[in-house]
């Protein structure tokens, strides 16, 4: 990294020492991405009531399963309410995350990882492998939390909160997956075995988007899809997430207390394209720091994931070749984050 550049976006934002050079450096709007924002769509983002999905009433469950299937098919994105994760824990996770980013730069620097599979990886948004050093207006911390649990030692409270948060969000993810398999008439036990979900690969990611004096010049996180099966996101009440829907960006304003959930690339692979991963991006703002915490659930790392036989037919041949999740991640690491490029590589 060039000597005159700060270590993190937070350090740059805190210093107030912006120059147009810095801003140019961080500027990276993608002209090829959908540009219009459709404000009218936002209230239609589907909502799933998890208590009805997991409750005792079979008719309610059947209704929720249908609703979940439609949400996956039409949007790849939905809000989950009545999920059973205590609000206190969700809040504590956001607070612990802010405390992490408030640590001294040197303490965070020790956690800089090199590869996507490093179990603890702090970074600021640039990709050293890319031809052009592209920077985004975001600092992040990524942790592998299952099947093995990893956490930074500081701040002191972080590890305990994270352990609970990872367990609770994994449980929600598994309940949703059960409902999703059911919506496609797939057998839950079969899917659990095929994807080795007992040893599912779960990543926790924390994102920090400090205020930017010229937010229109920068992107927090460029348009991308997530690599796992499902992603659960929770934010600190500051908006900034856009989801692609029908060729337009939709600003997301989550219902209080909800998780924002989206389907990932491995959902698209395993369902043979029936349910697709969804493009989303995060934008910076001029006033307030935005924090999001993301829990990403995927198959086990060494399972070869391919379209399930039940969803492959002569009319709908297999669209993707089988690859392990590990191979997928290593390939993504070698490329600059660019929309759904790895998925395209797998297409038959
Ligand atoms: C991610 C992500 C969006 C956000 O971490 O993959 O898409 O709003 N985050 O922080
Ligand atoms: Ni994402």
Domains of the chain: 35-345 (2.60.120.330)
Task: For residue 109, give Cα distances in angstroms to 97, 101, 103.
Answer: 16, 11, 10
Q: Is the CB of 144 under 6 A from ligand 1?
A: no
Q: Is the CB of 142 under 6 A from ligand 1?
A: no
Q: Is the CB of 207 under 6 A from ligand 1?
A: yes
Looking at all shown ligands, the one closest to residue 340's CA atom is 2
Q: Is the CB of 294 under 6 A from ligand 1?
A: yes
pLDDT for the residue numbered 56? 83
> Which residue's CA lies nearest to atom 10 of ligand 1?
292
Q: Which regions of the chain are under pLDDT 70?
A: 1-5, 18-36, 38-43, 125-134, 334-339
300 and 277 Cβ atoms separated by less than 8 Å: no
Tokens of 206: 């924390």
pLDDT for the residue numbered 182? 98
How many angstroms separate the alpha carbon of residue 124 from the centre of ligand 2? 15
In this structure, how many other beta carbons lie within 10 angstroms of the beta carbon of residue 169? 29
Phi, psi angle pair for 12, to nearest 5°: -65, -45
Q: Note the Cα 337 to chain centre separation in Å.
A: 13
Among 208, 294, 297, 332, the mutation site with the greatest number of ligand 1 atoms within 8 A of its Cβ is 294
Among 79, 206, 221, 254, the mutation site with the greatest number of ligand 1 atoms within 8 A of its Cβ is 221
The residue count of the chain comes to 348
Three-state SS string across the chain, please? CCCCCCCCHHHHHHHCCCCHHHHHHHECCCCCCCCCECHHHHHHCCEEEHHHHHCCCHHHHHHHHHHHHHHHHHCCEEEEECCCCCHHHHHHHHHHHHHHHCCCHHHHHCCECCCCCCCEEEEEEECCCCCCCCEEEEEEEEEEEECCCCCCCCCCCHHHHHHHHHHHHHHHHHHHHHHHHHHCCCCHHHHHHHCCHHHCEEEEEEEEECCCCCHHHECCEEEECCCCCEEEEEECCCCCEEEEECCEEEECCCCCCCEEEEECHHHHHHCCCCCCCCCEEECCCCCCCEEEEEEEEECCCCCEECCCHHHCCCCCCCCECCEEHHHHHHHHHHCCCCECHHHHHHEC
Q: Is the CB of 226 under 6 A from ligand 1?
A: yes
Q: Is the CB of 146 under 6 A from ligand 1?
A: no
How many angstroms separate the alpha carbon of residue 199 from the centre of ligand 1? 24
> Which residue's CA lies nearest to atom 4 of ligand 1?
282
Q: Which ligand 1 atom minimizes the distance to the CA of 240?
A: 8
In this structure, the strands spanning 77-81 and 230-235 are: unpaired
Q: Is the CB of 71 under 6 A from ligand 1?
A: no
What digits encode the pLDDT tens for the residues 247-296? Answer: 889 999 999 999 999 999 999 999 999 999 999 999 988 899 999 999 99
CA 222 to CA 29: how far, in whole Å?
A: 8
CA 67 to CA 183: how far, in whole Å?
A: 9
Please choose, from the candidates 277, 273, 312, the residue with its C-alpha nearest in 3D space to the C-alpha of residue 298.
277
Q: Which ligand 1 atom minimizes the distance to the CA of 226?
A: 6
pLDDT for the residue numbered 15? 81
In this structure, how many other beta carbons lie within 10 angstroms of the beta carbon of residue 209? 31
Task: For residue 299, give Cα distances in angstroms to 79, 103, 196, 198.
Answer: 22, 33, 6, 9
> Which residue's CA lies nearest to atom 1 of ligand 1?
294
What digits encode the pLDDT tens for the residues 112-156? Answer: 877 778 999 998 865 444 445 567 889 999 999 999 999 999 999
pLDDT for the residue numbered 2? 45
């Amino acid at each position: 990294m060039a000597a005159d550049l700060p270590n993190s976006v937070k350090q740059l934002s805190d210093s107030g020492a912006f120059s147009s050079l810095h801003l140019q450096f961080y500027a990276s709007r993608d002209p090829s991405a959908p540009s219009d924002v459709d404000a009218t769509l936002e209230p239609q983002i589907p909502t799933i009531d998890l208590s009805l999905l997991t409750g005792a009433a079979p008719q309610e469950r059947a209704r929720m399963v249908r609703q979940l299937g439609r949400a996956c098919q039409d949007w790849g994105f939905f809000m989950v309410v009545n999920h059973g994760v205590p609000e206190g824990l969700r809040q504590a996770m956001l607070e612990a995350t802010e405390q992490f980013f408030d640590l001294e730069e040197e303490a965070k620097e020790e956690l800089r990882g090199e590869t996507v599979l490093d179990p603890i990886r702090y970074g600021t948004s640039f990709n050293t492998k890319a031809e052009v050093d592209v920077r985004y207006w975001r600092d992040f911390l990524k942790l592998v939390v299952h099947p093995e649990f990893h956490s930074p030692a500081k701040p002191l409270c972080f590890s305990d909160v994270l352990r609970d948060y990872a367990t609770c969000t994994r449980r929600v993810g598994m309940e949703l997956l059960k409902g999703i398999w059911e919506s496609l008439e797939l057998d839950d036990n079969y899917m659990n075995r095929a994807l080795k979900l007992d040893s599912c690969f779960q990543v926790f990611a924390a994102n920090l988007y400090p205020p930017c004096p010229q937010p229109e010049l920068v992107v927090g996180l460029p348009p991308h899809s997530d690599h796992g099966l499902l992603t659960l996101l929770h934010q600190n009440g500051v908006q900034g997430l856009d989801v692609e829907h029908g060729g337009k960006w939709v600003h997301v304003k989550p219902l209080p207390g909800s998780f924002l959930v989206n389907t990932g690339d491995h959902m698209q692979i395993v369902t043979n394209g029936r349910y697709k991963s969804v493009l989303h991006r995060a934008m910076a703002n001029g006033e307030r720091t935005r924090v999001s915490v993301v829990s990403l659930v995927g198959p086990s790392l060494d399972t070869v994931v391919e379209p399930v036989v039940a969803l492959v037919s002569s009319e709908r041949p297999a669209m993707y070749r089988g690859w392990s999740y590990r191979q997928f991640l290593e390939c993504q690491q070698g490329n600059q984050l660019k929309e759904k490029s790895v998925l395209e590589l797998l297409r038959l």
